């Protein structure tokens, strides 16, 4: 089983024109050139047209004609300097093309764009599209064993590719990493991370940092031992593996009693950020397992933490743990946004995270020092954070749960914010996030481990509020307070995009793609895409025109676990939608 070859391979419109011009030149001046050399020359041309360097990746946030990194820049700000589409013009925003992904799973892919070609993924395929027309250039399918989806906890999804020097890199559900030729879709290499049968999987978009391809494993609900891998870009050889749970005798192994570390979870299923100046990758880790925290007394490092790592070696330079001995599935895998903020009269290099546990954290990214932490959603599991260390001050409710009682707790395992990435606008100084307003009743029970089977050790049921289940919020990172909020009865689970046009873009699980005024939160524009949006909007420009792209296709964690019957009227089926302004 593996990656199939490309279907109907061809070249992009821009590359077609370049090849035609080279052929005309050769025809006029080099008629004696033999056919073999001509073919070789065209191959070199195709490779050159798709090449880009590590410097290009570093500069991605300042080159809006390309999108070369997950999050529109290593800093994961998801903010664009483009302003052609703005508060005044957004009313003229219309679709210019749509491409069917031919897949009914939830779609969370982040589009990558280079040299006029857009690359998107599903769990089952990688596609190259002409960015201006939506025409398919090639499609390479992915096969994996039929039993693989049983170890995918929260949706059969894939979040996209990484790109470098004419190659694309993606992960597969059965825990492989694949390199493809960006021009043709042909497989270059394929490497196995681990046997998926024990509960391991990949959904992550890889990160390329300082010449190393980095991936994080999924499977926190299955009693895995989490890890982050570094891979050689050319050969697919694994260069290093950093376990997110220390082995016996290693530093912090004493935070796990007995042999609980062997099945302790701590997955790493969302893409990290990277500071090239400090040469540090920031990668979040997920919940410890089982959920029953009394079974694994101790802080359980490095679960529910951020790791600052050297990309060349995987060395952990520092760590910060958000939720020690977490009982509530409060993954810390959410996006770690890089920014420089004025705090207490001094500029600080920080990372920010709206954590599942309901607190918004600001941490010094050079040292891991806790700077700020405030609730941005309803929180009852803790009474606050220690102002010096950031360690949670557990509430009486959590103490009762640890004593074996059944108690209502906020937020639920869905979190105050789930995976859906937020945006940060450096001009307004606010983060824009889709937050969740859902509680649960919770009681710890005896856990039972079986490889490849859910490993909870808890009984729980959702507690639904009478009103909105979620809010799009403009959050002050230093206080956690919202400047404005837009409620939604069915919570939004899509990513958020900020632009210099003073707009915020996001989507609903009922299919609406939306634009809001960044200052007031007023809804300015909406378009019904026909299926739920849990994907990640991006914006880019070509030939002087600004475009906005989003992948739709309902599904994933809320749809799977909420039992929300209102979603039954929103059909599945993924597509790529691209929009631009119509002429006045």
DSSP per-residue string spanning 118-170: EEEE-SSEEEEEETTT--EEEEEEE---TTGGGG-TT-S-----EEETTEEEE
DSSP per-residue string spanning 352-367: EEE-TTSEEEEEETTT
What's the CA dihedral at 267, 270, 275, 278 to 10 degrees? 0
Tokens at residue 179, please? 């390199």
Block residue for tokens 């894939």? 158
My answer on whether omega of the bond before 290 falls inside 30° of 0, hence cis, is: yes
Residue 89 and residue 45: Cα distance in Å, rounded? 39
Residue 487 and residue 52: Cα distance in Å, rounded? 42
Do strands 207-209 and 575-581 pair parallel, antiparallel, or not at all (unpaired)? unpaired
Q: Which helix (H) or strand (E) holds 499?
A: strand 497-499
Block residue for tokens 């589009």? 111
Tokens at residue 395, please? 């509430």
Burial of 74 (0-12, 13-18, 19+ CB in 10 A): buried
Phi-psi region of 519 (alpha: psi -120 to 50; beta: other; left: phi over 0): alpha
Catalytic residue selected from 75, 115, 174, 329:
329
Residues contacting residue 70 through CB under 8 Å, at least 6 positions apart: 76, 110, 112, 159, 160, 162, 205, 207, 271
Encode 332-349: b = buried (16+ Cβ within 10 Å), e = exposed. Answer: bbbbbbbbebeeeeeebb
Q: Are 292 and 457 in contact (CB under 8 A)?
A: yes
> Is 329 a catalytic site residue?
yes
DSSP per-residue string spanning 222-268: GT-B-EEEEEETTT--EEEEEESSPPTTSTTGGGS-TTGGGG-B---
Tokens at residue 410, please? 């906020």
Tokens at residue 240, please? 């290093």
Q: Are 514 and 526 in contact (CB under 8 A)?
A: yes
Residues contacting residue 363 through CB under 8 Å, at least 6 positions apart: 306, 320, 350, 351, 352, 353, 369, 370, 371, 390
Q: Which residues are catalytic?
A: 329
């Amino acid at each position: 089983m593996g990656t199939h070859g490309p279907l109907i391979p061809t070249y992009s419109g821009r590359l077609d024109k370049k090849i035609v011009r080279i052929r005309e030149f050769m025809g006029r001046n080099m008629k004696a050139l033999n056919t073999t050399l001509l073919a070789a020359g065209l191959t070199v041309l195709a490779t050159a047209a798709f090449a880009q360097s590590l410097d290009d990746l570093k500069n991605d946030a300042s080159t809006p004609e390309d999108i070369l990194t997950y999050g529109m820049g290593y800093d994961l700000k998801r903010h664009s300097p483009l302003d052609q589409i703005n508060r005044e013009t957004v009313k003229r925003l219309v679709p210019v093309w749509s491409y069917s992904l031919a897949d009914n799973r939830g779609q969370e892919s982040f589009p990558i764009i280079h040299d006029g070609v857009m690359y998107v993924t599903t769990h089952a395929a990688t596609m190259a599209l002409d960015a201006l027309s939506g025409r398919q250039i090639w499609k390479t399918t992915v096969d994996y064993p039929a039993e693989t989806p049983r170890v995918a906890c929260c949706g059969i999804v894939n979040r996209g590719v990484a790109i470098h020097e004419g190659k694309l890199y993606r992960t597969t559900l059965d825990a492989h990493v694949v390199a493809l030729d960006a021009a043709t879709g042909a497989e270059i290499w394929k490497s196995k991370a681990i046997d998926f049968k024990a509960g391991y999987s990949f959904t992550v978009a890889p990160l390329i940092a300082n010449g190393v391809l980095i991936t994080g494993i999924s499977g926190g609900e299955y009693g895995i031992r989490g890890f982050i891998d570094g891979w050689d870009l050319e050969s697919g050889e694994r260069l290093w593996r950093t376990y997110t749970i220390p082995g016996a005798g290693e530093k912090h192994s004493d935070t796990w009693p007995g042999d609980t570390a062997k099945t302790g979870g701590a997955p790493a299923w969302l893409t990290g950020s990277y500071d090239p100046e400090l040469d540090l990758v920031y990668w979040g880790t997920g919940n410890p397992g089982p959920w029953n925290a009394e079974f694994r007394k101790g802080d359980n490092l490095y679960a529910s933490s951020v790791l600052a790592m050297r990309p060349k070696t995987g060395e952990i330079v520092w760590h910060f743990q958000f939720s020690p001995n977490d009982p509530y599935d409060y993954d810390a895998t959410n996006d770690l946004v890089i920014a420089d903020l004025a705090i207490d009269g001094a500029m600080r290099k920080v990372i920010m995270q709206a954590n599942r546990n309901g607190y918004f954290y600001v941490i010094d990214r050079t040292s891991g020092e806790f700077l700020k932490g405030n609730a941005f959603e309803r929180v009852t599991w803790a009474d606050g954070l220690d102002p010096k260390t950031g360690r949670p001050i557990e509430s009486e409710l959590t103490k009762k749960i640890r004593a074996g009682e059944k108690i209502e707790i906020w937020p639920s395992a869905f979190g105050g914010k789930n995976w859906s990435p937020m945006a940060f606008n450096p001009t307004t100084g606010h983060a824009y996030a889709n937050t969740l307003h859902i509680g649960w009743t919770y009681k710890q029970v005896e856990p039972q481990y079986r490889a490849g089977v859910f490993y909870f050790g808890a009984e729980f049921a959702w507690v639904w509020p009478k009103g909105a289940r979620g809010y799009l919020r403009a959050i002050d990172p230093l206080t956690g307070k919202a400047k404005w909020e837009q409620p939604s009865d069915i919570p939004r689970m899509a990513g958020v995009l900020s632009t210099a046009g003073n707009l915020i873009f996001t989507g609903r699980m009922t299919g609406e793609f939306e634009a809001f005024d960044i200052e007031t939160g007023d809804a300015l524009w909406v378009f019904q895409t026909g299926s739920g949006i849990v994907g990640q909007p991006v914006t880019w420009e070509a030939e002087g025109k600004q475009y906005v792209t989003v992948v739709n296709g309902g599904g994933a964690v809320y749809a799977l676990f909420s039992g929300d019957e209102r979603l039954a009227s929103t059909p599945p089926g993924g597509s790529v939608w691209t929009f631009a302004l119509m002429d006045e």
